[in-house]
């Protein structure tokens, strides 16, 4: 948890599978949204929390209301990717996550930014009605946001 709070983001790694590429041999654009989810779940996990528990025990789900992605360079089969996920805002039941997907360091030591994006979520119950963020999640998210504001 401290590492995420200190650096301001969590990292998850994936390797591009052949099935994730299109006829041009590059990753199909919609796969980035799947990887955003991988990053988001890992971000929550690295904060010492668990999204599955949030759903099952706290009856709180984070429904996607908006997603944006800006593609910078193509990813290809067998590339190792790093998804860096950060919290870009929290206001009541609204949560914003930011993502940067990079190709892992190559022989020259450079990482290539492949995609940047953001998702906006509303906390809802199983009835799909807005509800408050469970306290333990709100507290951890606030700690991350406070640390980011302090750094700036």
What per-residue confidence (pLDDT) applies to 72? Answer: 97
What per-residue confidence (pLDDT) applies to 5? Answer: 74
CA–CA separation, 12 and 42 (whole Å): 6
Residues 18-33, buried b or exposed e (16+ Cβ, 10 A)?
eebbeeeebbeeebbe
What per-residue confidence (pLDDT) applies to 3? Answer: 82
Domain CATH for 132:
3.10.129.10
Catalytic residue chosen out of the listed positions 22, 50, 59, 78: 22
Cβ atoms 115, 39 nearer than 8 A? no
Grouping H, G, I as helix, E, B as strand and the rest as coil, residue 103 is strand
What per-residue confidence (pLDDT) applies to 2? Answer: 79
What per-residue confidence (pLDDT) applies to 69? Answer: 98
Grouping H, G, I as helix, E, B as strand and the rest as coil, residue 85 is strand
Question: Mean pLDDT, consecutive 10-residue segments, the chain of 152 residues?
Answer: 83 96 93 98 93 93 97 95 96 96 80 96 95 93 77 55
What per-residue confidence (pLDDT) applies to 108? Answer: 63
22 in catalytic set: yes
Domain of residue 40: give its range. 2-151
Q: ∠ CA 131-53-69 to the nearest 5 degrees? A: 70
- How many domains does the chain fold into? 1
């Amino acid at each position: 948890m401290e590492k995420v709070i200190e650096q301001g983001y969590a990292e998850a790694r994936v390797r591009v599978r052949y099935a994730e590429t299109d006829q041009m041999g590059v990753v199909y654009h919609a796969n980035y949204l799947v990887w955003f989810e991988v990053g988001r779940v890992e971000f929550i996990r690295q904060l010492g929390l668990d999204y599955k528990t949030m759903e099952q025990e706290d009856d709180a789900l984070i429904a996607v209301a908006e997603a944006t992605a800006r593609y910078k360079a193509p990813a290809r089969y067998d590339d190792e990717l790093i998804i860096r996920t950060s919290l870009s805002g929290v206001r009541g039941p609204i949560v914003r996550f930011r993502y940067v997907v990079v190709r892992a360091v190559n022989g020259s030591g450079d990482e290539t930014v492949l995609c940047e994006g953001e998702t906006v979520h509303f906390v809802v119950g199983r009835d799909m009605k807005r509800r408050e963020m469970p306290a333990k999640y709100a507290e951890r998210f606030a700690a991350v946001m406070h640390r980011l504001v302090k750094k700036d």
